[in-house]
Chains A and B, each alone.
Chain A
Amino acid sequence: MEFEPTIVSFLCNWCSYTGADLAGTSRLKYAHNIRIIRTMCSGRVDPTFVLESFKKGADGILICGCHPGDCHYHEGNYKCLRRYHLLKKYIKQMGIEPERLHLEWISASEGKQFAELVDRFTGSIRELGPSRIKEVVNTLS
């Protein structure tokens, strides 16, 4: 059976979630692997959420926020961007492929871009193969 990745996604309420909503109302088809969690802002995405998702079995994590300059709270997306770069470095040190974590800006009008992004990201995780994080973290050896 082909490997079906589990993708956890954190979308900001104001741009990206609305963009995903637009993809839906426009009847666009995209990979069903994604599990969307709505947050008020991409700046609300605590690194703890990302690590906890990996621990519980996410093969890939996608964070989406408003384009630079468009944040509803002025600078939440910049905070997310800074955390993202630090987290990438950390997960690489922990022996996790950094490609499993991805950040992208999606505006409320970019339903099509969102659908394409989900397909693209799911494809890249499918190529990378299943994550071993859940198994390793939950088994003392």
Chain B
Amino acid sequence: MSKENSKPKLKMAVYWGAACGGCCVSVLDVHEKLFDVTANADLVFWPIALDTKYADVEAMEDDYIDITLFNGAVRNSENEHMAKLLRQKTRILVAYGSCAHMGGIPGLGNFSSKEAILKQVYLESSSTINPGPVYPETRHEVKEGVLSLPEFYNDVRTLDQTVDVDYYMPGCPPQTERLLEVFMAIVNGSELPPKGSVIGALDKGQCDECERKKSDNKHIREFKRPFEIEDDGETCFLEQGIICMGPATRGGCGCRCIEGNAPCRGCYGPPDDVPDPGAKMMSAVATMIDSDDPDEIEEIVSQIADPAGTFYRFSLPGSILRRKINTDI
């Protein structure tokens, strides 16, 4: 055995639940550093790149995998099954990316219900002709045997609402540099943070990192959408009347959106001491409204077209209310 192989390699898995695939691609974005990764780790399961089957994972011993990056929310019974299976086979399970962390974009499905979504997709959308009507079935018998499909859940769930999670790595997707730092720390045997920590991000808020000019006097008389202003490229978005999730968002992403002259959308989730990013954002934004008159305040608030969707864009299933309570209201 050569010297290089004398140290046992880490076994690593990357899996997607209800996700767009971007998180898996962000792992590929390590580019040539992939050689450093494969020098130190064997990728034993990674559906976007490898042809390992579910049965191969089922055949592994418990805790066989050292680290699993689970991205995507839990939307159906297949996602749930794989989350539970990977939990059983993995020593360190990481909720990787906004969807696994707080529900992410698929989590916006919690504004609707299973019934309404299936109705829209299989019955009402203008490109659908479904005279049956035929709905997806979880079990269907044909003469060759039984066909099955995963069950679609009413609620989109975060990973930690399904299984025990060791660490969270936020972002949509997480910045690849942060992933490499975390990976190399594990490889080099650095002391790991306490279980349940958010890793690969800062403790401080986004505004601390943001280089735009900020003053204490934030007075908003009109909320605007980005196309309605001529951004000077250096003044705080909120001071220009644009909603920016910076005040309720954890730093660590390198302010890529803001550097691209787009306001923060909150994919890194809230800082440690904030239980609900949307509530914190409402608290912050409301106080900036420059009026003491109830009618005028209501008028200014009405300019925020969709507070729930804006303030909980990446975090609805992980927030306090978790989903729309009554879909008839």
Contact = CB atoms under 8 A, between A and B. Distances in A.
Interface of A: 46-48, 50-52, 54-55, 68, 75, 78-79, 81-83, 85-87, 89-90, 92-97, 132-133, 136-137, 140-141
Contacts of B308: 90, 93-94
Interface in B275-329: 275-276, 278-280, 282-283, 285-287, 289, 291-292, 294, 297-298, 301-302, 304, 306-309, 311, 319-329
Contacts of B329: 92, 95-97
Given A136-B325, A140-B155, A48 B286 contact: no
Contact of B321 (A82, A97, A137): A137
Contacts of B155: 140-141
Interface string B85-104: 00000000000000000000
B276 to A, nearest CB: 5
B117 to A, nearest CB: 13
B157 interface: yes
Interface residues of B, number: 41
Nearest to B156: A140
B287 A89 contact: no
Given A83-B287, A95-B326, A140-B155, A54 B282 contact: no
B161 interface: yes
A140 B324 CA distance: 12
A86 B300 CA distance: 10
A86 B292 contact: no
Contacts of B135: none
B325 A83 contact: no
A76 B153 CA distance: 43
Contact of A47 (B153, B283, B326, B327): B283
Interface in B221-264: none
A140 B155 CA distance: 6
Given A51-B321, A82-B287, A141 B154 contact: yes
A136 B324 CA distance: 9
A140 B323 CA distance: 10
Contacts of A52: 275, 320
Interface of A is mostly: helix
A48 B275 contact: yes
Given A46-B279, A132-B326, A141-B154, A93 B306 contact: yes
Contacts of A50: 279
Contacts of A79: 286-287
Query: Which of B325, B326, B329 has its CB near the most chain A CB atoms (within 10 A)?
Result: B325
A44 to B, nearest CB: 11
Nearest to A87: B282
B325 A95 contact: yes
A86 B285 contact: yes
Nearest to A55: B320
Contacts of A86: 282, 285-286, 301, 304, 307
- In the complex, the 10 A-B pairs of residues with the closest C-beta atoms, listed nearest first: A95-B326, A47-B279, A93-B308, A82-B286, A83-B286, A48-B279, A95-B325, A141-B154, A51-B320, A95-B324
Nearest to A139: B155
Contact of B286 (A85, A97, A136): A85
A58 to B, nearest CB: 12
Nearest to B280: A48
A111 B297 CA distance: 28
Contact of B289 (A82, A87, A136): A82
